[in-house]
Amino acid sequence: MPYQAPVKEMRFMLEHIAGLGDIAALPAYAHATPDMVDAILEEAARVARDVWAPTNKNGDSQTSRLDGDNVKTPDGFKDAYKQFAAGGWNAFVCAPAHGGQGLPWSLGMAVNEMWQSANLALSLCPLLTSAAIEAIEKHGTPAQKETYLPKLISGEWTGTMNLTEPQAGTDLAAIRTVATKAGDHYLMKGQKIFITFGEHDFTDNIIHLVLARIEGLPEGNDGLGLFIVPKFLVNADGSLGARNDVKAVSLEHKLGIHGSPTCVMQYGEKDGAIAYLVGEEGKGLRNMFTMMNNARISVGLQGVALSERAYQHALSYARERVQCARMGDKSGKRVAIIEHADVRRMLLTMKANTEASRALAYYAGGQLDLMRHAETPEARTAAELRADLMTPLVKAWSTDLALETTSAGVQIHGGMGFIEETGAAQYYRDARILPIYEGTNGIQANDLVFRKLLRDGGAEAKKFMDEIAAFLPLLNENPSDDMDAVKNGVARALDELRKTTDWMLANVKANTEAVAAGAVSYQRQFALVAGGYMMARLALAAHNALFEGGDDALFMNTRLVTARFFADALLPQVYGLSAPVMGGNAAACQIANDQF
């Protein structure tokens, strides 16, 4: 079925979750007026529907192909990208100093979700360009910014992120790609794997951001540097010079996202690839995380996007597929499967999880805006701490839910879901990479517990929990059965999270392995409570609109029903996670290797 961006839901969440109205009141975002926001969302929805979405299935079946040193992307990809860049979408949230539009990151979350729903494989190209832009903006020299940022921001060039090597996945200290000082630049030799859009036919130049070991520096993380390695060298006047000593030597054959070329990149097959240091020697890992942190939120958003696309696909099929009579209907009248209780349960689970994960992602986007442009240093610091806490939750929970949601989409199709022609299987296959991308979800759990929780003794986490507790009484101002159910569900889940948080903090040093074994369960529990809080905020906004006699009763009632279902049917997962969190996974640490 054609993809239709849920623009109305996006607007509602931008207003009531991200706080776009308050963000647009900041001087840096004063141009993000309501009329402009509406126009942007409507036009992005059109481009996503009419230009990007039609290329999705073709990209899956045709795939990208390596031809010598060049990559041929699937039919339609190059033109869709060109229209995207020509429309200024690549420059959307970038700083105006180098040609960006300077629009809020939170608004960019909604727009980027559309590209990702329409064609996830294609959307990976601008996502990685954005990461490269951010790294150069934050750590590059004035000359590097002047040389690379205008054309990256315009979309005339694209960027990549090169970290992984065959022997160095998560363990970046094991990187063997080496950069040797050579005057005002470095010469790089080595190989990188899993480089998305490392080669393609969209643009004349590709700017690789590469993590490499610096010759002469010590082993380990302190010996790393972050480098710009352009496909074509750039002359002083901005024109393209000679081809650099870097190329794609093969493409991976993947479970999903077939349209995106995932490259094995060779640096320095001849004399060495010319590379330019970004930031200081030995600070490469720190500088790389400028790209990584925002990329993690973006990957979480990809989970939301695929969940939305799979939900729309399954909903369309459920409305059309006639099969059996309803349970208890003795007339024998055959009905569309949307009438069957279990299908309705699956659809509402898909819908509720998608809305909750979208709300949490948009909330994180709003914090990123405040982190950049809030009016006081204290407010910027508070937003940064909150964004840091939300990052592993958004990345891990949204991508885990994408697997569950796309799987449910296949299940609703029944046997037809297992057949490629229906399209349901593609979303499931595409989603499988997301819990792996940008640090596996187990790494996100370790980040949540051993960095975000431990660094301040749980202060920021408890501050967030206190915020939820302070919000809940607002649900009683105009009482109803729905609001009571939402309030009670979130309150009980919050109490459970407080208990497991205290256990984690009490055991993190004395019983480290048990805490590590329970970290994924704790992360899931924390994210469920955070998602429940977001759904409660949406429910309150919808309930108040109904109480005040708004003219969109169906939309608002849908928000209430969905929030109540989340509280009644999905939040209770929190209780079952407490035992695994608090030592229930200890056997995983006790079992001997030869017992597996």
**Residue in the structure block whose two tokens are 């206190």:** 466
Residues 6+ apart with CB under 8 A from 575: 493, 496
**Residue in the structure block whose two tokens are 């190059």:** 78
**Quick one: tokens of 385?**
């701490």
* Nearest in space to 259 (alpha carbons), one of 111, 441, 118, 106: 118
Residues 6+ apart with CB under 8 A from 509: none
Report the chain's C-alpha Rg in angstroms.
24
Rounded distance, CA 141 to CA 164, Å?
25
Using DSSP's 3-state secondary structure scheme, residue 357 falls into helix
Contact 283, 225 (CB under 8 A): yes
- The active-site residue out of 134, 165, 199, 438 is 438
* Inter-CA distances, 184 with 181, 187, 216, Å: 8, 10, 16
* Nearest in space to 501 (alpha carbons), one of 452, 537, 535: 452
* Nearest in space to 484 (alpha carbons), one of 563, 371, 405: 563
Rounded distance, CA 165 to CA 174, Å?
9
**Residue in the structure block whose two tokens are 């020299």:** 141
- The enclosing H or E element of 145 equals helix 142-154
* Nearest in space to 212 (alpha carbons), one of 251, 249, 180: 180
**Quick one: tokens of 80?**
């869709």
* Strand 206-214 versus strand 178-182 pairing type: parallel
Rounded distance, CA 405 to CA 311, Å?
7
Q: Largest alpha-carbon pair distance within the chain?
A: 85
Amino acid (one-letter) located at 471 = F
Strand partners, 226: 211, 278
Rounded distance, CA 214 to CA 547, Å?
64
Rounded distance, CA 51 to CA 568, Å?
39
438 is catalytic: yes
Secondary structure letter of residue 92 according to DSSP: T
* Nearest in space to 526 (alpha carbons), one of 406, 441, 404, 592: 441
- Residues making up the chain, counted from first to last: 596
Active-site residue list: 438
